[in-house]
Amino acid sequence: MAKKKKKAGIVAHQLPSGSYRVQLYVGKDASGKRIYKSFTDPDPDAAIMAARDYKENKDKPEVITIGKAVERYIESKKNVLSPSTIEGYRNIHKNRIESVKNIDAAEFDARSAQMFVNELSRDLSPKTVRNVWGLVSSAIYAYHPDRRYNITLPAKRKQTREMPEAKDVIAAIKGTDIELPALLAMWLSLRMSEVRGLKYKDITRNVLTVRRAVLLLHGGDVVREQTKTYSSTRRITLPPYLVRLIGKGDPDEFIVKMAKNTIYSKFTSCIEAAGLPHMRFHDLRHLNASIMLQLGIPEKYAMERGGWTTNSTLQNVYQHTFSAERSAVDDKVDAYFNKLLG
């Protein structure tokens, strides 16, 4: 005969398996059928305790910790933000909010927020602190819109680094297997992910369409059939020198087949071997921006070539892409690099 145990008005019945089950009446469905919630455990006291806890807390609002709020916020954004942004958010969730992740978001006041920011600022750069706080405050706001914090963030620090000149970088990479990726970044202002995302089919009559990115996420490559931002999808006329370097290939084949880490290590090795100041591969885009400024390229066309987003250009990304003025800009930039390449 099946056993049962009663405690605090709750009865646990033994099942044929030997475990004990408590069934709590929780209401009726639309058809009037009674609905029960079950709690099963080999220990009858544990089943009764679980049922009692549920009964006592089922009408209380759910407590959302900061860690849970951030986790859910990231999940809600994963299909609308870039994979690299989501990856960055997950790294913050994993490594930067340990001290506050178990705090009830509803109880996180301005004083606690300022202390958290102060704690972050001891070891992290102002930019990283702002990124962490931006994610945490957005996640809290999603559940508690009344939570608005007036806190002091660390002041931005201007980064000043010595950058090699373009002619010296070209001398360091020319004739090496890193020349094409580096020139695509420095001449056309492509990001590393955009360089790796280019396929031969993206070139039509020597016009390159930047429409794809290959990102390194979770230790593996992820192909994203769109660029980082709206204005990052752009078209650039290829100069003959780059056309020759790119050559021909299967339309669906990637033009640059090197892994991200390989490109970075080969590039930095060339820079170091030439005795130049250290620079990251991404600094080639900064160098490109400096060159366009030096050449007096109007901001609108510099933004178009580089795929940078601002409020003033966002709505006019393609409006004058191949106007006479833009063609003159391309010619001016190409003439500069052709001269350096001899």
Give start-end residues of each CATH 1.10.443.10 domain in the chain.
Answer: 166-341
**pTM for this structure?**
0.62
- Lookup: tokens for 146: 């009344």
Q: Taking each helix axis from N to C terminus, what angle separates 324-341 and 166-173, rounded to the nearest 10 degrees?
A: 60
| Domain 166-341, CATH number (from 1.10.443.10, 1.10.10.10, 3.40.50.450, 3.20.20.70) | 1.10.443.10
Taking a C-beta distance cutoff of 8 angstroms, is the pair 53, 45 a contact?
Answer: no
Q: How far is 8 from 53, CA to CA, in rounded Å?
A: 12
pLDDT of residue 327: 76
Q: How far is 198 from 207, CA to CA, in rounded Å?
A: 12
Q: What is the mean pLDDT of the chain?
A: 86
pLDDT of residue 84: 79
Per this entry, what is the length of the chain?
Answer: 342
pLDDT of residue 260: 94
Sheet holding 234-237, edge to edge: 203-204, 207-210, 234-237
Q: Which residue has the tokens 């250290």?
A: 278
pLDDT of residue 324: 62
pLDDT of residue 54: 80
CA–CA distances in Å: residue 267 to residues 191, 263, 272, 293, 331: 14, 6, 9, 24, 27
CA–CA distances in Å: residue 27 to residues 32, 35, 101, 280: 9, 5, 35, 62
Q: What is the pLDDT of residues 255-310, one digit of tens each?
A: 999 999 999 999 999 999 999 989 999 989 888 888 887 888 877 777 878 776 65
Strand partners, 221: 216
Buried residues in 282-306 as b, exposed as e (16+ CB within 10 A): ebbbebbbebbeeeebeebbbbbbb
Give start-end residues of each CATH 1.10.150 domain in the chain.
Answer: 66-143
CA 245: distance to chain centroid? 31
Q: What is the pLDDT of residues 189-228, one digit of tens each?
A: 899 999 999 999 999 999 999 989 898 887 788 888 876 6
Taking a C-beta distance cutoff of 8 angstroms, is the pair 105, 143 a contact?
Answer: yes
- Write the class of the CATH domain 66-143: mainly alpha
pLDDT of residue 318: 31
pLDDT of residue 170: 95
Render each residue's pLDDT in the chain as its tens digit; 342 residues: 568 888 878 888 888 888 889 898 878 777 788 888 888 888 888 888 888 888 877 766 677 899 999 999 999 988 778 777 888 999 999 999 999 999 999 999 999 999 999 999 999 999 999 999 999 999 999 888 888 899 999 987 766 567 788 899 999 999 999 999 999 999 998 999 999 999 999 999 999 999 898 988 877 888 888 766 655 778 889 999 999 999 999 999 999 999 999 999 999 999 999 999 899 999 898 888 888 878 888 777 778 787 766 534 323 333 334 456 667 888 899 999 999 988
Q: Which residue has the tokens 């942004």?
A: 85
